[in-house]
A and B are shown apart, each in its own frame.
Chain A
């Protein structure tokens, strides 16, 4: 067909298909997370969680799908509720805000490669289909920019609601995001220096192969363990979920979406889960080798017993996408686990963690990594120094003084206003 020789048409078709895959994946997982969050937290707290909704039976037993039907029930409820808006609210901004937050976090996924390049065997430019929506130099900067844009959703919602509590939530969100974005960027600098590129598929290239004589895949997690840990913390703060859910703070101010009902609120909630998925995808790509299954050969092929999946083959693409999905789901579960384990930080603690812990350690990590890479570009020194850094960290933490019970001075107990 002549149409296929049109490059623009080729790009259009492949892009639309890729978009359907990645958007479908993110939104499905985000919807799944609403269920997972409730069931997982329930099982952590020795409860059962919602599992009884069903709208049809099979062989006389109602089909509940382990509670998955609740996802449908919840979204149906959200869609059919009255979208209420306060009379004094700024109507345009009020309705724009949920979409801003949702879209900007969803856009991040465009820069994340979700599978290996497909080789079609045709001549250029039809030879390679990258399984990545947008491959552009400086992709990481785009991602950071989109992540920062997400905060506009909360800030606008807080401002336009014309509600003191919503405004407080919006301000908290802005302050928190500004504090943690610095650490968020700095922790990624380590991986930027390792890969020498801010394009995510190039960052994956550098993670190909193994280290320590084949014992470990050469993932960012092992090249940058401190960076990975700090990034995870900072990025969790960016998702605005517990223990960093100051902007929501349902027990104190209810938060920036206090005036939202119906699908406006639904978008905020779904956007939060999209952020969780996006963080999981970013972490998997930058630190966990993305779509690359462990044990992948340096030439990009995978050997599964007698079966060999060559680089660029459809089989490898499928395996890569499955690996990516698995890693993303694993990181999502980990985030939910942390979210349901820890209580909310106090605001000063939140700022302490951001400025006094994440920022200095990410600077140290950056300087050490810089020195190591300058010293030895094959990353051997980087690994050694990172080992030393991790060891020092463990030493400081583990050998440091532990909690001590100190008796309160007599006569101080009465009228003691300390506490929370």
Chain B
């Protein structure tokens, strides 16, 4: 059995008179008070962020909502090779491949769904993609859902974010995807 031997602290007249220690304590709290009131925002001890009003700037490599990139003609770059779905450790990507009309392209995704409730935002799909068709650089949070079906984002949803890269949106913008009301 471990016995913790604690050293006793004997207070002298200095401490027992309370006053110098009280003044020291008030000095410490006063330093915090004045520092937080008048100090520069970057260096002060008070770090609270008023979240909806103020938002932290995300790092460039922040992995947010996925987006599917488009070719110049607007069709998805994705060739339905299943690399991302295979790499995905959460099994959240479901692709239905279809033959493409374009002779240059073999396949295209007839359906490309990401279940946001399963996704762990690891970014392995982005690493795996040979066509640079999927990225997670939108800076968008996963929006809140009211039903599990809403959490599954289809090709249209993912393509809607196609041109959006790296800009954290204003508060509430996540819910305005495609003008589709999310009810929240």
> CB-CB contacts of B20-50 with A at 8 A, as 1s and 0s?
1010011011101100110000000111101
B1-20 interface with A by 8 A CB criterion: 3-15, 17-20
The answer to whether B33 and A414 have CB atoms under 8 Å apart is no
**A48, closest chain B residue (CB):** B48
- Chain A neighbourhood of B50, CB < 8 A: 48, 52
The answer to whether B22 and A406 have CB atoms under 8 Å apart is no
The answer to whether A45 and B11 have CB atoms under 8 Å apart is no
A379-412 interface with B by 8 A CB criterion: 396-398, 400-408, 410
- Chain A neighbourhood of B11, CB < 8 A: 403
- Chain B neighbourhood of A307, CB < 8 A: none
The answer to whether B14 and A43 have CB atoms under 8 Å apart is no
**A400, closest chain B residue (CB):** B13
Least Cβ distance of A183 to chain B in Å? Answer: 14
The answer to whether B29 and A396 have CB atoms under 8 Å apart is no
Q: How far is the CA of A340 from the CA of B28 in the complex (A)?
A: 11
Known A-B contacts A43-B32, A46-B36; the reply to A408 vs B8 at CB < 8 A is yes
The answer to whether B14 and A413 have CB atoms under 8 Å apart is no
- A72 contacts partner chain B, Cβ-Cβ < 8 Å: no
Which of B5, B12, B13, B29 has a CB less than 8 Å from the CB of A408? Answer: B5
**B7, closest chain A residue (CB):** A405
- Chain B neighbourhood of A341, CB < 8 A: 22, 25-26, 28-29
The answer to whether A45 and B32 have CB atoms under 8 Å apart is yes
- Chain B neighbourhood of A400, CB < 8 A: 12-14, 17
- Chain A neighbourhood of B45, CB < 8 A: 46
Which of A46, A357, A401 has a CB less than 8 Å from the CB of B14? Answer: A401
A28-59 interface with B by 8 A CB criterion: 40, 43-48, 52
Known A-B contacts A43-B32, A413-B3; the reply to A403 vs B15 at CB < 8 A is yes
Question: 11 A-B residue contacts at CB 8 Å?
Answer: A43-B33, A43-B36, A337-B29, A341-B28, A397-B13, A403-B9, A403-B12, A405-B7, A405-B8, A410-B5, A413-B4
A contact residues vs B (CB 8 Å cutoff) = 40, 43-48, 52, 229, 337-338, 340-342, 353, 357, 396-398, 400-408, 410, 413-414
Q: Which 6 A-B pairs rank lowest in CB-CB distance, beginning with the nearest?
A: A400-B13, A401-B12, A46-B45, A44-B29, A43-B36, A341-B29
